[in-house]
Structure 1
């Protein structure tokens, strides 16, 4: 995959870039894999035959399926930057009461260099969707991907931020112990809004259009937007196929019922009067049956100075 964009109007901001001709087929394949594993036309057709409850159950699973698709899409695009390590497994972060107290009662500047042991335990925990480590900049991003933040009120969103920051305090130790001694100098939390409806760079809320900066891959945000459109198109196609198969099955069933009824009807229509052909009654009835590390900085991820000024 190329690191330049042919015919660009201006010089790319990042040294790596998306080549749509190469990436889009891979995104289509990914969409097909994720969608068919949980939402197929055959299963939907059976749900249509069963009733509204089964159809609703099938449709309720689509948001979670799209969320998984976006995460895997980000992971795929991150592969264009060889400096990135993307973690999706074994990344449950403990959230102890002590960590929450630190986050709730202190200014971020006061705990920016504090880290906690990853095995500190605690009943609560936080599992990010992704941890993206840039080996060049030695920055780890703890990423939570949201299809939309419109359903999050201020209190719920604030609680999510606290858990993410508290969990982030254990990330340096987790990376060093569990992931081949990866060493980082900063851990930043990011909440990605896939609908591009929210932006608060001071508290780590980014629209997915800013994914280019997170991955340092030009065109990453547009690629995820393309992936979401492909998903919506694929869902509509599955719906149309299921309806078509459902109607065909009903028509076939009706034809079979009519075909099964016709011999009986014809026999009755042409049978002689019972009083004259009582010896044929039996035949007529029969026809009807069928190591040491540097100081770490923890905090919200912020956009580059130039980008932040442009947004303001």
Structure 2
């Protein structure tokens, strides 16, 4: 078996590695799916024509779709490791008062070996983005993917980690009962921060670049970074096409206005006795319309 060095700093060697050529088609399908409807050229053109409110709605959709992109992209990369089982459905985990008390009042080493019944009732729940289980090591990771933690206060991050730890107490029972007798002897929680502004390896906050460690696949962090870049590049490309399409009707109207002004100046039109002053205003309006469009850098050496 060939051992591949991971691209993550300080990572050990892993027996599995990302083959970007092999994943290319999967990434293409994912990007097409998540960008086609909300960020197609047609949708963006309609938003630009609709004004600020519609354009703002499109911009708000970008973080949502990027979150889905990251979750599904991680799942695709994790499949490179045949020892892993990736779960994304039916993951609503109960967060009971008993579990929260255990987490908040004890050091993790005191409840590390505990597990609670998944049927335990409670109004509070936590839904992770992914649960990844290694069948060989029987280690499960409860994963929350964040595009950015830049706006999160420390107290909010700590509250999230407490909920995740409390929910993790039911994961062994849930996996065995609802997922084909899947066994987890240890459960760890991790927040993956795609923004890479904050990291706390010991405290369960990892930059997305350390994805290699999580899925034990060399180059995983680089691959997910490339997926994000290509997703944003697709949106940027569609935005430029939509912007150009939106500008063309204005330029066409400007050309028609200029043509009408020229006809009037040559006497080809029909005017009332006050035509001289009206034509002058029309010409000014035509010139104003012609100048509507994209700014251009003046070229040196031209008249």
TM-score (norm 2): 0.80
RMSD of aligned C-alpha atoms?
Answer: 3.0
1:302 paired residue number: none
Report Cα offsets for 1:39-78 as digits up to 9, x if no partner: 2221111111111111011101101111110111100001
CA contact (8 A) 1:91 1:127 kept: yes
Instruction: Tell me what 1:47 maps to.
Output: 47
Equivalence map 1:155-194=2 (5 Å):
155-194=155-194
Query: Helix, strand or coil: the match of 1:232?
Result: helix
* CA distance in structure 2 between the aligned counterparts of 1:177 and 1:162, rounded to whole angstroms: 24
- Partner Cα distance (2:182, 2:99) in 1: 22
Deviation by residue 1:281-311 (Cα, 9 ceiling, x = unmatched): xxxxxxxxxxxxxxxxxxxxxxxxxxxxxxx
Deviation at 1:28, TM superposition (A): 3.0
Deviation at 1:91, TM superposition (A): 0.4
The alignment partner of 1:217 has SS state of coil
Equivalent residues in 2 for 1:68-107 (5 A)? 68-107=68-107
Equivalent residues of 2:95, 2:167 under 8 A apart: yes
Residue 13 in structure 1 maps to residue 27 in structure 2: no
Unaligned runs of 5+ in 1: 272-312
Distance 1:115 1:250, change over 3 A: same
2:33 — aligned with what?
33
How many correspondences in the alignment? 269
1:111 paired to 2:111: yes
Deviation digits for residues 95-150 of structure 1, max 9, x if unmatched? 11111111111111111111111121211110000000000110000000111111
Find the aligned partners of 1:75 and 1:166 in 2 and give their Cα distance: 24
> 116-125 or 249-258, which moves further after superposition?
249-258
- Cα distance between partner residues in 2 of 1:220 and 1:270: 72
Segments of structure 2 that go 5 or more residues without pairing to the other structure are: 272-303
Contact 1:100–1:163 (Cα < 8 Å) also in 2: yes
Could you tell me how far apart the structure 1 residues matched to 2:259 and 2:92 are?
61
3-state SS, counterpart of residue 213 of structure 1: helix
Q: More displaced, 28-37 or 148-157? A: 28-37
Whole-angstrom distance in 1 between the partners of 2:38 and 2:3: 36
Could you tell me the TM-score, scaled by structure 1's length?
Answer: 0.78
